[in-house]
Chains A and B, each alone.
Chain A
Amino acid sequence: MHPALSVIFFTTLMGAGQGLFLALYTAQLYAAVRILPWQASPTFYALGSLLALLLVLGGMAASFFHLGRPERSWRSAAMWRTSWLSREVVMLPVTAGLMVVYGGIHALGLDTTLFTIGGFIAVDLTILVGLVAAVAILGLFLSTAMIYASLRFLQEWHGPLTVLNFVLLGCASGFTLATAFASTLASGMAVFYTNWAVVLTAAALVTRGASLLVNGRRRPKSTLESAIGVRHPQIRQITQGAMGGSFNTREFFHHQSAMRVAATRWAFLVLVFPLPIALLITTEVSDNPGPAIAAFCLQFLGLLAERWSFFADARHPQNLYYQAIA
């Protein structure tokens, strides 16, 4: 497939924003059940939610560049019964809205304890709002990933690994950002986030590595035999029926050399996983936010390459019909 910059930025920015929100909520939840010794200040959650919201809105803005007719995008929520893209369009404003509510309650100091469980765990209003937001975020992750995973003949995408990768890579990116954010504000949460960021990044390495391995030895179901229905092992296209390019030659192939595709794959394998993990571990011993910020920036850069690779690796069966110009 042709990797479109708009979709690459859309999915990576959204992933980081969603992951960051989940990071904020995880910390609040941990503090509520007293696993973390203290609760961070409302300002921390409010600013964090704002950052997450900006990332999600940035991703949304990027997605408009992928549309031919963005002015009609309001129509795209209509087919939520059948289309994962439509479901994503529904989930996106819901998630953004819940982020606003969650951050707003923290910012305006409207948070109150609704009830306590066992006289010891205080359930705040934001805990409940955050729970709904977290569910919405997981729904949004699922919708985004299923857009790709539901296309059954794009075999490289079709499978549960695609969903796992989107969730884990988004969370890894979000928790790394949370580490950078927490160490910048010196809120004392940095160590907590560092551990989670390392764990999530390592988990993402396992699932993304698995998808690379599985796709590397995948044999395409469609062949030229089934494409034109002639039973012969040796079929060669002489002409595709057009001397110039067409939509079919532009949209479904990356037009890069095999070396560049391989280089991008290695680049993201280094940038997304070992480098940020190493940088994150150094933040555990120093209070300097520099390494954590660098870790997020490098990882985000790597994720852009990862998404490019994700598209370039998908081999669309329609390319069987477009092998030779003349």
Chain B
Amino acid sequence: MSQLALIIDLNVCVGCHACVTSCKEWNTSGWAGPLVDENPYDRDPTGTFFNRVQTYEVGEFPYTETVHFPKSCLHCEDPPCVPVCPTGASYKRPEDGIVLVDYDKCIGCLYCSWACPYGCREYDVQERVMTKCTLCVDRIYDVNLRASERKPACVLACPTSARLFGDVHDPTSEVSIMIREQGGYPLMPEWSTRPANHYLPRRRTQIRLHEDELIRADNPLKKEGVLPPPPPDQATLDEITTW
């Protein structure tokens, strides 16, 4: 059983919103019809977005750090939005773990959006059904695309490769190794929803130097430079030993 997911590296994300626009572009021109925008060029614009980049400031000036935080559906392994759906429109695909909504079955009762602690569901006000991130399910299996392009639109758009896509159940996959070795973590672990998407933390690359690495033990007088040649009458190492 595989579980496809995104890994988002907060250490690399620069907050450029390329994933947001790319997601919007791909999903608004897909088979499910446009992602609705209302008053896009007017006062109080609002619209449907499956992916957003948020920005947080951590700490107090001058010790602050800016964290850009892309947020989309986490495709939980234990999705609370699925069992509450009265019609079965909301479901989790057993073969690859993608959480999807059947737009033809949804009655728009909003109950699944109440049941998602992350606020990752988007109500389409014109179609009057619930929509959400599909992990570009209409793209990742498309054999007409080159193999390297069978990835979610957001992953392809990211200029810094802050987004990785893969199977988190396969322990040898790139994403699993990243989670394991780079400290990948899920959001709001307190609700035991087991999100498939993981985030890699902000981390600083630094070398730890120890005191004895700065002082050469074999040079106690701390004199650097080319040593003077030995006097001519002194036996050299070659004369003492035959090796």
A255 within 8 A of B: no
A230 within 8 A of B: yes
Within 8 A of B (CB), among A219-234: 221-222, 224, 226-230, 232, 234
Q: Which residue on chain A has the smallest CB distance to residue B71?
A: A321
Q: Which residue on chain A has the smallest CB distance to residue B198?
A: A229
Within 8 A of A (CB), among B81-133: 83-89, 105-111, 113-119, 121-123, 125, 127-129
Let me know if A227 and B187 touch, CB within 8 A: yes
Q: Which of A115-123, A161-169, A240-248 contacts B (4 or more CB under 8 A)?
A: A240-248
Let me know if B108 and A67 touch, CB within 8 A: yes
Q: Which residue on chain B has the smallest CB distance to residue A147?
A: B111
Quick one: given A68-B129, A228-B187, A242-B49, are A153 and B87 in contact (CB under 8 Å)?
no
> Smallest distance from the beta carbon of B133 to chain A beta carbons, Å?
13
A278 within 8 A of B: no
Within 8 A of A (CB), among B46-63: 46-49, 52-60
Q: Which of A81-89, A100-108, A180-188 contacts B (4 or more CB under 8 A)?
A: A81-89
Q: Which residue on chain A has the smallest CB distance to residue B120?
A: A318
A76 within 8 A of B: yes
A72 within 8 A of B: yes
CB-CB under 8 A from B55, the residues of chain A are 237-239, 241
CB-CB under 8 A from B80, the residues of chain A are 151-153
B243 within 8 A of A: no
In the bound complex, how far is the Cα of B122 from the Cα of A253, in angstroms?
A: 15
Contact with B along A22-59 (1 / 0, CB 8 A): 00000000000000000000000000000000000000
Quick one: given A76-B86, A238-B55, are A318 and B49 in contact (CB under 8 Å)?
no
CB-CB under 8 A from A79, the residues of chain B are 83, 85-88
Let me know if A228 and B69 touch, CB within 8 A: yes
Q: Which residue on chain B has the smallest CB distance to residue A232?
A: B58
Quick one: given A147-B111, A241-B20, are A78 and B88 in contact (CB under 8 Å)?
yes
A260 within 8 A of B: no
Let me know if B107 and A70 touch, CB within 8 A: yes
A135 within 8 A of B: no
> Smallest distance from the beta carbon of A153 to chain B beta carbons, Å?
4
Let me know if A235 and B58 touch, CB within 8 A: yes
Count class of interface residues, chain B: 35 or more
Q: Which residue on chain B has the smallest CB distance to residue A90?
A: B86
In the bound complex, how far is the Cα of B106 from the Cα of A319, in angstroms?
A: 24
Partner of A66, one of B56, B109, B190: B109
B31 within 8 A of A: no
CB-CB under 8 A from A243, the residues of chain B are 45
Quick one: given A69-B108, A78-B87, A321-B71, are A236 and B46 in contact (CB under 8 Å)?
no
Let me know if B199 and A229 touch, CB within 8 A: yes
CB-CB under 8 A from A247, the residues of chain B are 48, 113, 121-123, 125
> Smallest distance from the beta carbon of B55 to chain A beta carbons, Å?
4
Let me know if B123 and A83 touch, CB within 8 A: no
Partner of A221, one of B60, B128, B190: B190
Quick one: given A236-B57, A239-B55, A245-B46, are A1 and B107 in contact (CB under 8 Å)?
no
> Smallest distance from the beta carbon of A242 to chain B beta carbons, Å?
6
> Smallest distance from the beta carbon of A217 to chain B beta carbons, Å?
19
Let me know if A75 and B105 touch, CB within 8 A: yes
> Smallest distance from the beta carbon of A156 to chain B beta carbons, Å?
12
Partner of B56, one of A75, A237, A242: A237
A300 within 8 A of B: no
Quick one: given A69-B107, A72-B107, A242-B52, are A234 and B58 in contact (CB under 8 Å)?
yes
Partner of B86, one of A66, A78, A237: A78
Given A85-B84, A236-B56, A244-B47, 10 further pairs, Cβ under 8 A: A75-B87, A78-B87, A78-B88, A151-B84, A228-B199, A235-B57, A238-B56, A246-B122, A247-B121, A317-B118
- 25 CB contacts below 8 A, A to B, read A1-B114, A66-B110, A67-B107, A68-B127, A69-B107, A72-B105, A75-B87, A85-B111, A86-B86, A153-B80, A221-B190, A222-B188, A228-B56, A229-B201, A230-B56, A235-B58, A236-B56, A236-B57, A238-B57, A240-B54, A241-B20, A242-B47, A251-B113, A316-B119, A317-B188
> Which 5 pairs between the two chains have the least Cβ-Cβ distance?
A68-B108, A318-B119, A68-B128, A241-B52, A82-B83
